[in-house]
């Protein structure tokens, strides 16, 4: 009985187990169905407000904006994330295969979610271990379209992520998804994407990574801070070797390749990135200027995340020559705190070819850009008065009494030439060469400040912003203008009277390559070609022989012209000069403010500051360039010289024929304007003389030379009458022209 009863009991237990299991499974099924029915509503709700995953832009990540020079070389990057997206053919095959082997070895088999991977992860979790179940596609969704939810560990987020991952697999190929992932993932040390990681850790392209290097980078995204080779090299080495083990296990590298790669030490070549989100590789002052322009057109998000490509006008060769010329001259002067600003533009396009904002961009934490900063311009402004006079029919051979001092008409302000020197009766052309302040005050009064203001506006200078006041001494350069503005204004004289705004950016492309902006040339005819040529002819006579600008005479076979300027107490030194190919503006002074520029107690002038820089730059960049002439055009129509009444000039008694001539408001004189010489009805050539400098609030050492020049004429004899005693405190004070 015993054995039978034991067998029976045993048999009844055996038959009862399936019934119990079936009952339990039935319960689970019923519960599961009930749960499932309840979950349907939740899932539908979770999926009801998904982002538009069909929009390709939804998967775009933050991309740096890149600034390139005229040759396409990168000079700066603006970013919130250091990243550069690349294509499949721009990355090492080791990276492609190794990433799949480590992150998602069934990547090419599943449809966005890996059920086997989920099961494997569940088993590992039950066993007290940990194994990731997210596919590469899911990780990509999490890092892009669901980025704001990536740290949410709820079932809702996982369902949304899985759903989009499956849909994404229908829209993109596996290779496209893999590259999107590689361009998105964070590799630590501020590097987003495989290209940025390769550049950051190894200073090389992702296409050039060796097996060992690729394995090192592949291992980082799992825990970027823990495996950072710059911080934890031993952990990074161990992680790299595990990656290599996985690649060997899956048969994607040979044993020999595996062993050789593991035998290699980790060798880094780190490129640190800026914590400011701005990396400047060259031309820092120009980059800062370009950034200001971009900020006027684009939001910060677009500028730092939008992946723009900004094509600029800067010429790296010219820029280097300009920087070396400025630094060399400042080193020679060796005056603590003295600095320079320099801009060069192409008169035919308005393109900014080089911009030097100072000796050292990093020397001043405020990064003051002297190329765009506004300072009083001195007698370089006289070129605008000269142009206005010629445009209104004043012949450069008209005679002026340029003795010093002179009380400005209708005021008590006394104006004087530099060192209070008197020049007597000389032509306007000669007055420009000597930069006579007393002469130019009379010219400005004769033609009217309002007309000068009008022309200045057309030359891109805003009198209101540049503090140019409608006062008698305006023509002496009391207003504050930037070298950038001055270079573009003078470029108008070089290009037949056509003004062009200074251009720094030629094109802006989106991250997809579409053109967002493209510069179109839109010049304004401010002067006729003949008027511009007449201005150039006057400005081309003072940089040769004993002229005040002789220190800037060029040795290259090109015509050139220009004007120097010095303000009160020699606190600002200027030179604006040009050839047919390039127009340049130079400023020298102290960043700290209006401090006299002196050495050994003696005032410095343009011949020892700006002119050598201009000369060195032009001689270097134009060497070997075929000679080009300034545009000429038809000579201007001038009024009879007797029409002009200058209050500082003692006019002789008019003859009867002079009275008849006064009735003719305009007549063409015999003056023939060229780029080198002028045949005048009165007065002599301005290239001769003592080269004495001018005086008052903005005078300048003035002028320049063009072509072969003319034959110097004797120095004009000053008026024989005694020189009046200067006012003890003249306003403006004694300055160079």
Residue 57 pLDDT level (bands cut at 50, 70, 90):
confident
Domain count, the chain: 3
Active-site residue, from 77, 134, 212, 379: 379
Q: Are 391 and 527 in contact (CB under 8 A)?
A: yes
The answer, yes or no, to whether residue 650 has pLDDT greater than 60, is: no
Residue 53 pLDDT level (bands cut at 50, 70, 90):
confident
The answer, yes or no, to whether residue 213 has pLDDT greater than 90, is: yes
Residue 543 pLDDT level (bands cut at 50, 70, 90):
confident
Model pLDDT, residue 552: 81
Residue 132 pLDDT level (bands cut at 50, 70, 90):
low
113: its two tokens: 């979610």
Within-domain flag for 454: yes
> Would residue 659 show up in a list of annotated catalytic residues for this protein?
no
CATH number at residue 103: 1.10.3810.10
Q: Are 542 and 703 in contact (CB under 8 A)?
A: yes
Is residue 142 domain-shared with residue 200, that is, in the same domain?
A: yes
Is residue 181 domain-shared with residue 300, that is, in the same domain?
A: no
Residue 59 pLDDT level (bands cut at 50, 70, 90):
confident
Within-domain flag for 214: yes
- pLDDT, tens digit (0-9, with 9 covering 90-100), for 446-470: 999 999 999 999 999 999 889 898 8
Within-domain flag for 170: yes
Structural domain harbouring 74:
63-80+277-312
Is residue 398 domain-shared with residue 301, that is, in the same domain?
A: no
**How far lies 87's CA from each of 58, 92, 142, 179, 213, in Å?**
18, 11, 21, 7, 19
Within-domain flag for 328: no
Is residue 90 domain-shared with residue 69, that is, in the same domain?
A: no
Is residue 391 domain-shared with residue 538, that is, in the same domain?
A: yes
Model pLDDT, residue 671: 35
Give the least confident one: 37-46, 110-119, 254-263, 407-416.
Answer: 37-46
Whole-number mean pLDDT of the chain?
A: 82
Is residue 164 domain-shared with residue 297, that is, in the same domain?
A: no
Is residue 478 domain-shared with residue 395, that is, in the same domain?
A: yes
Q: What is the 3-state secondary structure (H, E, C) of 520-577?
A: CCCCEECCCHHHHHHHHHHHCECCCCCCCCHHHCCCCCCCCEEEEEECHHHCEEEEEE
The answer, yes or no, to whether residue 499 has pLDDT greater than 80, is: yes
Axis-axis angle for helices 233-249, 211-218 (nearest 10) = 110
Alpha helices in 149-200 (DSSP H): 155-171, 174-184, 194-197
Model pLDDT, residue 120: 57
Q: What is the 3-state secondary structure (H, E, C) of 41-90?
A: HHHHHHCCCCCCCCCHHHHCCCECEEEECCCCCEEEEECCCEECCCCHHH
Give the least confident one: 333-342, 398-407, 444-453, 700-709.
Answer: 700-709
Which one has a higher pLDDT value, 115 or 138? 138
- pLDDT, tens digit (0-9, with 9 covering 90-100), for 173-205: 999 999 999 999 999 999 999 999 999 999 999
Mean pLDDT across 708-724: 36
Residue 260 pLDDT level (bands cut at 50, 70, 90):
very high
Residue 461 to residue 458: CA distance in whole angstroms: 7
Within-domain flag for 684: no
Which one has a higher pLDDT value, 644 or 472? 644
**Closest residue by Cα to residue 314 from 264, 356, 252:** 356
Is residue 259 domain-shared with residue 289, that is, in the same domain?
A: no
Within-domain flag for 681: no
Within-domain flag for 533: yes
Model pLDDT, residue 154: 75
Is residue 225 domain-shared with residue 184, that is, in the same domain?
A: yes
Is residue 160 domain-shared with residue 299, that is, in the same domain?
A: no
> Would residue 379 show up in a list of annotated catalytic residues for this protein?
yes
Within-domain flag for 548: yes
Residue 394 pLDDT level (bands cut at 50, 70, 90):
very high
Active-site residue, from 63, 103, 445, 531: 103
Is residue 208 domain-shared with residue 345, that is, in the same domain?
A: no
* Residue after which a domain boundary falls, among 638, 663, 688: 663
CATH number at residue 512: 3.40.710.10
Q: Are 436 and 399 in contact (CB under 8 A)?
A: no
The answer, yes or no, to whether residue 276 has pLDDT greater than 50, is: yes
Is residue 301 domain-shared with residue 374, that is, in the same domain?
A: no
């Amino acid at each position: 009985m015993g054995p039978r009863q034991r067998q029976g009991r045993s048999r009844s237990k055996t038959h009862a187990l399936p019934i119990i299991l079936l009952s339990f499974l039935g319960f689970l099924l019923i519960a599961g169905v009930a749960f499932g029915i309840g979950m349907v509503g939740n899932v539908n709700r979770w999926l009801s407000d998904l982002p538009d995953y069909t929009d390709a832009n939804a998967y775009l990540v933050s991309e740096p904006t890149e600034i390139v020079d005229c040759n396409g070389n990168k000079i700066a990057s603006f970013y919130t994330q250091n990243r550069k997206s690349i294509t499949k053919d721009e990355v090492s095959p080791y990276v492609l295969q190794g990433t799949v082997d480590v992150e998602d070895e069934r990547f090419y088999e599943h449809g966005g979610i890996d059920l086997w991977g989920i099961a494997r992860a569940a088993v590992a979790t039950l066993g007290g271990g940990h194994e990731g179940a997210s596919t590469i596609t899911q990780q990509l969704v999490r890092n892009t379209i669901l980025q704001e939810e990536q740290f949410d560990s709820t079932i809702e987020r996982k369902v949304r992520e899985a759903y989009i991952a499956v849909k994404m697999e229908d829209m993109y190929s596996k290779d496209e998804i893999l590259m999107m992932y590689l361009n998105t993932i964070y590799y630590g040390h501020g590097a987003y994407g495989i290209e940025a990681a390769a550049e950051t850790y190894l200073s090389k392209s992702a296409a050039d990574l060796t097996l060992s290097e690729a394995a090192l980078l592949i291992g980082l995204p799992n825990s970027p801070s823990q495996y950072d080779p710059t911080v934890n090299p031993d952990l990074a080495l161990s992680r790299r070797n595990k990656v290599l083990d996985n690649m060997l296990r899956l048969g994607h590298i040979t044993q020999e390749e595996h062993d050789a790669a593991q035998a290699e030490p980790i060798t880094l070549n780190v490129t640190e990135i800026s914590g400011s989100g701005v990396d400047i590789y060259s031309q820092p002052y120009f980059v800062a200027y370009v950034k200001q322009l971009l900020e006027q057109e684009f939001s910060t998000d677009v500028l730092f995340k939008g992946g723009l490509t900004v094509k600029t006008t800067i010429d790296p060769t010219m820029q280097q020559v300009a920087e070396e010329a400025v630094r060399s001259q400042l080193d020679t002067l060796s005056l603590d705190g003295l600095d320079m600003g320099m801009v060069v533009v192409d008169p035919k396009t308005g393109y900014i070819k080089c911009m030097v904002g100072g000796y050292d961009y990093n020397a001043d934490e405020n990064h003051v850009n002297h190329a765009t900063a506004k300072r009083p311009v001195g007698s370089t402004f006289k070129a605008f008065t000269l142009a206005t006079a010629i445009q209104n029919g004043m012949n450069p051979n008209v005679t002026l009494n340029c003795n010093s001092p002179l009380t400005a008409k209708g005021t008590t302000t006394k104006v004087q030439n530099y060192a209070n020197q008197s020049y007597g009766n000389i032509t306007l052309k000669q007055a420009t060469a000597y930069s006579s302040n007393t002469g130019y005050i009379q010219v400005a009064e004769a033609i009217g400040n309002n007309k000068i203001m009008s022309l200045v506006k057309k030359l891109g200078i805003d009198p209101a912003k540049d503090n140019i006041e409608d006062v008698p001494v305006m023509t002496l350069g009391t207003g504050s203008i930037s070298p950038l503005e001055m270079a573009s204004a003078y470029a108008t004289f070089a290009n037949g009277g056509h003004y062009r705004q200074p251009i720094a950016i030629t094109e802006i492309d989106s991250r997809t390559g579409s053109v967002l902006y493209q510069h179109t040339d839109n010049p304004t005819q401010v002067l006729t070609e003949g008027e511009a040529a007449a201005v150039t002819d006057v400005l081309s006579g003072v940089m040769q022989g004993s002229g005040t600008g002789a220190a800037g005479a060029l040795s290259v076979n090109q015509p050139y012209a220009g004007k120097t300027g010095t303000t009160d107490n020699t606190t600002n030194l200027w030179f604006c000069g040009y050839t047919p190919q390039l127009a340049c503006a130079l400023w020298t002074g102290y960043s700290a403010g209006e401090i006299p520029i002196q050495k050994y107690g003696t005032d410095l002038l343009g011949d020892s500051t700006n002119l050598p820089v201009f000369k060195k730059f032009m001689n270097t960049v134009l060497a070997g360039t075929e000679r080009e002439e300034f545009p000429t055009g038809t000579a201007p129509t001038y009024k009879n010289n007797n029409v002009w009444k200058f209050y500082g000039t003692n006019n002789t008694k008019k003859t009867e024929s002079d009275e008849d001539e006064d009735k003719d408001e305009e007549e063409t004189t015999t003056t023939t304007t060229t780029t080198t010489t002028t045949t005048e009805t009165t007065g002599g050539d301005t290239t001769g003389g003592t080269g004495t400098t001018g005086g008052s609030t903005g005078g300048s050492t003035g002028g320049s030379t063009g072509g072969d020049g003319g034959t110097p004429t004797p120095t004009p004899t000053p008026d024989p009458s005694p020189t009046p005693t200067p006012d003890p405190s003249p306003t403006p004070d004694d300055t160079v022209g």
